[in-house]
Chain A
Amino acid sequence: DGGITQSPKYLFRKEGQNVTLSCEQNLNHDAMYWYRQDPGQGLRLIYYSQIVNDFQKGDIAEGYSVSREKKESFPLTVTSAQKNPTAFYLCASQNRATNSPLHFGNGTRLTVT
């Protein structure tokens, strides 16, 4: 079955450590997105990528970095510069050719203590 896989589902880190969240899709979608979800605030866009080797900042990119070396993969690194990293992170992909709605993964819940 085609879909988006985010791993792991739960991630725990100590403050000051960088951590990388995985997002893999086998839908052959060009575009991929990272959103952050906090209680009572909905989802906010961190980074997005429309093609391989290209990506743009979203609304809350500070303290995060991404790479898009392969079409299938769009990993997100939460750096120590991110002030409040504890959140639920959702990855999504989209077929740009058909302007399909965003297709989301199951998310990764990151807890930093």
Chain B
Amino acid sequence: AQKVTQAQTEISVVEKEDVTLDCVYETRDTTYYLFWYKQPPSGELVFLIRRNSFDEQNEISGRYSWNFQKSTSSFNFTITASQVVDSAVYFCALSGPLRQGAQKLVFGQGTRLTINP
């Protein structure tokens, strides 16, 4: 069975601090995909990143970076120099192999991030 654990329920930091959101996953698939989504107060989920299990290179996109480590089954997300607009709920998710079929995501419980001015 697949499982995603986001142990941090809520995080609160002051603007410009760096913050890391943890994500630990469990799966028996050898090929799988990991995702991060952002849910602002408006409610929709905004796609941030997708990584496959064969690509352990860290990814950086502006102030966002992701650290994927298969050895520890983790896919952590770091925001550098946080801003108030980063305040949202962040979800980590996992899916099995991406064939021409349904992309059934298993989500973690989410981490509510609050950036205080």
Contacts and interface: CB of A to CB of B under 8 A. Distances in A.
B43 A50 contact: no
B31 interface: no
A45 interface: yes
Interface stretch (B44-52, B62-70, B76-84): B44-52
Given A42-B109, A105-B44, A50 B101 contact: yes
Contact of A104 (B4, B44, B98, B104): B44
Contacts of B103: 31, 94, 99, 101-102
B108 A42 contact: yes
A102 B102 CA distance: 10
Nearest to B105: A102
Contact of B43 (A44, A56, A102, A106): A106
Most buried by B among A40, A101, A106: A101
B32 interface: no
Contacts, number: 63
Contact of B104 (A45, A96, A99, A105): A45
Contacts of B100: 96-97, 99
Interface string B77-117: 00000000000000101000010111111011110000000
A63 interface: no
Interface of B: 4, 6, 9, 35, 37, 42-47, 50, 91, 93, 98, 100-105, 107-110
Interface of A: 9, 31, 33, 35, 40-45, 48, 50, 56, 58, 88, 90, 92, 94, 96-97, 99, 101-107, 109
